[in-house]
Amino acid sequence: MEKPTTHIALVSVPAFSHQISILEFAKRLIQLHNHTTTTNFHVTCIIPTLTSPTTLYSKPFFDSLPPSIHCIFLPPVNFDDLQNNGDSVENQVQLSTSRAMPLVRDTLTSLVTNIATPGGTVAAAAAATTTSNKVVALIVDAMATEALEFGKELNILSYLYFPCSTMLLSMCLHFSKLDEIVLCEYKDHPQLIEIPGCIPVNGIDLPDSVQDRGSLAYKLFLQRCQQYRGVDGILVNSFLEMEDEATRAISPEKGSGNPPVYPIGPIIQTWPGGPRSSCDCKCLVWLDNQPLNSVLYVSFGSGGTLSQEQINELALGLELSRQKFLWVNLRAPNDRASATYFSGDLVDEPLHFLPVGFLERTKGQGLVMPTWAPQTEILGHSAVGAFLTHCGWNSILESVVKGVPMIAWPLFAEQRTNAALVTHGLKVALRPKSGNCVVVKEEIACLVKGMMEGLEGEEVRRRMKELQKSAACALMEDGSSTSTIYKLAYKWKTLGISF
């Protein structure tokens, strides 16, 4: 007899890092339940797109999804007026997602009713009829909050998927009060900004979206934060053992008026990442020939860019440190830190932007790759001793799970907030003291040597190993995050059976 199916709908945004996170959560939900219980879960993820639904490095991820996860890529809308106007990444994602909402609504309606509604997609109706019409819950990305009202219209539970830290979530839930308390620009605020349950931070370390109070980005951020309070629950990609105080501070039991918060992390990539190539093999073979914990892994993510001046200083600093390094995803210089966030484009010869003679002089010391690399495999390699990272939350969690201490080098979005958490809060990272200025080669060399050889680096490494153990415990069968997912799944299954 075929097992009954409980259907969950997800709504993501046109940002691959967000898509990975919410779909990896779906994979974990299915992994925990579909082979061990009497009810199957089926997940449909609705994804607005900017241009092509998948790119060279994202296609393998979507191809690797289990058959019980179905993705519907909505037709792209013309966003030419958004991509070259200097707006923040968050603003561009928010506005592009908003334009896709009519199609999101039609697609959700077709999933719930098994009918292709006017303007809906045939793919959505097909997906619904081959699984189940018992859509019991809608889970939307934190930047797709407009979709929450569709859950109420369709009489299904509506949840927020928050792919960042609990610290950032606490700031968001507290942001209406911050908006009233802080009267100047946050970067100019003379005192540290207080966040419930978290370390206080400098105003400049708040997300890019709030750094200009008169901007559209600021208004959208404030509006989004206010919408968080109306959901049936918030799933946050963190875990109790890492951010216990922040989780308790925002829980409804504290009289905060917040919805229930469910820490379900660490959710990280469980696929190698990007298309397999000779370059992947090259970097892994190179690591095989390096001593234990001797290599600094350097990556600014799939979209981060540095200025030409900063590329020069970083390269020369790595050389000056005399420490081994693996530098991947090197991109053409750009004064906008998020210049390639959407396109992911690589120039043919980005290595030409390195200082003259650098590659020859460091041939035995390091390896530079201008291409995508299998990050989780690299971080899990015994030769890697530290990670110089842009502090994207996915990268931070991968580093935690693999137990690799970090050098925090935030570029854009919420990355400075993440950097404050890992350096001053968790103390599992070191950070340049130059702030938003160009970090010079001497400071870089000192920082790298301190991490790889110094006493400060040794202490950071010790704390990271402890945090790694806590992450592993959270994911055990009776761990805090696994138990939370089980509780949510039981609630959803019960609703599905009662339909």
Residues labelled as active-site residues: 18, 141
As a whole number of Å, the CA-based R_g of the chain is: 22
Find all residues with CB under 8 Å of 119, minimum gap 6, and list them.
102, 103, 106
Do 170 and 178 meet the contact criterion of CB atoms below 8 Å apart? Answer: no
Environment class of 451 (CB within 10 Å of its CB; exposed 0-12, middle 13-18, buried 19+)? buried
Closest listed residue to residue 386, CA positions, set 337, 468, 449: 449
Residue showing tokens 């919420």: 414
Phi and psi (nearest 5°) for 494?
-60, -40
Closest listed residue to residue 320, CA positions, set 369, 355, 370, 371: 355
Find all residues with CB under 8 Å of 112, minimum gap 6, and list them.
128, 133, 135, 154, 156
Please report, as a single letter, which amino acid is at residue 375: Q
Whole-angstrom Cα distance, residue 139 to residue 485? 13
Report how far apart the first and last C-alpha atoms of the chain are (Å, whole number). Answer: 19
Q: Given strand 157-162, what is the order of strands in its sheet?
A: 69-73, 40-47, 5-11, 135-141, 157-162, 233-236, 261-263
Find all residues with CB under 8 Å of 380, minimum gap 6, and list them.
402
Chain centroid to CA 321: how far? Answer: 30
Find all residues with CB under 8 Å of 453, minimum gap 6, and list them.
323
Closest listed residue to residue 451, CA positions, set 393, 384, 400: 384
CB atoms closer than 10 angstroms to residue 80: 7
Closest listed residue to residue 258, CA positions, set 197, 333, 299: 197
Environment class of 377 (CB within 10 Å of its CB; exposed 0-12, middle 13-18, buried 19+)? middle
Closest listed residue to residue 375, CA positions, set 287, 294, 290: 287
Whole-angstrom Cα distance, residue 397 to residue 366? 25
Strands, DSSP E only, in 107-187? 135-141, 157-162
Phi and psi (nearest 5°) for 161?
-100, 115
Do 231 and 214 meet the contact criterion of CB atoms below 8 Å apart? Answer: no
